[in-house]
Amino acid sequence: MSGDVAVLGAGMHPWGKWGRSFVEYGRVAARDALADAGVDWPDVQSVVGADTVRGGYPGYVAGATFAQALGWQGARVTSVYAACASGAQAVNTARAQILAGMADVVLVVGADAAPKGFFAPAGGERPDDPDWLRFRVLGATNPAYFALYARRRMALHGDTPEDFALVKVKNAAAGALNPNARYRAAVSAEQVAASAVVADPLRLLDICATSDGAAALVLSSMEFARRHGAADPVRIRAVSTVTPTYPKAVLDLPDIATDSAVAAEPASASFRASIARAVYEEAGIGPGDLSLAEVYDLSTALELEWYEDIGLCPAGEGAALVREGATALGGRIPVNPSGGLASFGEAVPAQAIAQVCELTWQLRGTAGERQVPGARAGITANQGLFGHGSAVIAVR
């Protein structure tokens, strides 16, 4: 049996701060994806919803929430939550159902109505929750963690705030060409340097916002795609949802300490690098086969880390890639041609799905002014709290 599943449709609700329900955003994205696929809603056999934990009770049962919003028609439903990796988990669940013969056509939806400001833990006393502990014990907000990682790169590799600013400049230039992006204006390095310090050395324009938004995909078996008239669709070839291995020698949200390596040597690669390694092994390709990548730029410094984690360059050389323009549109290996989170902001359950939407449009050759010429293979990469790996490889 082929491990490929077809991407028949991709759709989005534009990112922003719209002040409406995540259900409305998800319904719009779902209908957009169904129209793109040329599939009628009654023909969908399964709905997989990526949950938001801030949208009230319906967010915890997102599969049924979106199925109800579209109109009950008997499809099976599944709801998944893996923090920022929720979308990739939803794609993986849909793919597994298709390959297992449980469904021919699956709708995947993620949507969020995010709070203003940085994310904070839910209320209540939870001393066994490391995410709650980092706020209560350390006051370690996400921007503080991003800044610590930036400082680590500066100390180990000699990266500079000017290098970080180049990532924002690159992503803003791409986002300006994306009608679904929240921020659609070019930004200069001088503007980044002039923005307010949030957590030294990172400034306001180095850190992504929180946003409302939604993304959806219609996935199918290859057999259904052929019957449907899609002879050469974009195909999802591999999905990685791996977890860390012992010992973890580098701090990683939400953990506030590393493991002891007294009894075991540290792993040869980081957790994020293991996410990419697993998806490459499953897909049977490597970094040299990629046409583009969509990575999780919570901060500008973290994007540079992803360059190394997905194998675009050796450790410590991420800044050199952005300096030479290799990861910009028109470069050797464009990264975040969508504009990334720098241009969209975080809509947590939707963002890993949105990354696959961008790969789909790029591999179809329909990405407009941000099109990567001749795109044939792409990778998405992000990470969810509590050791949720997230990477997808799509090919054409």
pLDDT exceeds 50 at position 1: no
The token duo for 387 is 């050791």
pLDDT score, position 208: 95
Determine the 3-state secondary structure of 301 from DSSP.
helix
pLDDT exceeds 60 at position 57: no
The token duo for 323 is 């300096």
Within 10 angstroms of residue 16's Cβ, the number of other Cβ atoms is 18
pLDDT score, position 59: 62
pLDDT score, position 267: 76
Q: What is the mean pLDDT of residues 372-377?
A: 98
Describe the crossing of helices 62-70 and 22-37 by its angle, rounded to 10 degrees. 70
DSSP string, 223-238: HHHHHTT-SS-EEEEE
Q: State how far the alpha carbon of 308 is from the alpha carbons of 182, 314, 359, in Å.
A: 27, 6, 20
Q: State how far the alpha carbon of 195 is from the alpha carbons of 173, 204, 292, in Å.
A: 18, 6, 29
**CA pair distance 338, 11, nearest whole angstrom:** 14
User: What angle (nearest 5°) sits at the alpha carbon of residue 251, between those of residues 246 and 253?
Assistant: 100
172-205: b (≥16 Cβ within 10 Å) or e: bbbbbbbebbbbeeebebebbeebeebbebbbeb
For 347, half-sphere exposure in the C-beta direction (CA atoms, 13 angstrom radius) is 36
pLDDT exceeds 60 at position 203: yes
pLDDT exceeds 70 at position 196: yes
pLDDT exceeds 70 at position 55: no
pLDDT band for position 2 (50/70/90)? low
What are 305-351's pLDDT values in tens digits?
999 999 999 999 999 999 999 999 999 999 999 999 999 999 999 99
State what percent of residues in the chain have pLDDT above 70: 97
Q: What is the mean pLDDT of residues 256-269?
A: 75
What are 73-101's pLDDT values in tens digits?
999 999 999 989 999 999 999 999 999 99
**CA pair distance 138, 254, nearest whole angstrom:** 11
pLDDT band for position 181 (50/70/90)? very high
* Residue from 52, 53, 76 nearest 64 by CA: 76
Q: What is the mean pLDDT of residues 153-175?
A: 98
State what percent of residues in the chain have pLDDT above 90: 79
- Burial degree of 247 (CB within 10 A; 0-12, 13-18, 19+): middle
Please tell me the least confidently modeled range out of 135-149, 228-242, 320-334.
135-149
pLDDT band for position 54 (50/70/90)? low
pLDDT exceeds 80 at position 53: no
126 or 26, greater pLDDT: 26
Q: Which residues contact 79 (CB under 8 A, 6 or more apart)?
A: 48, 49, 50, 51, 60, 61, 62, 63, 64
Residue indicated by tokens 């990778």: 379
Q: What is the mean pLDDT of residues 2-27?
A: 94
Average pLDDT, the chain: 93
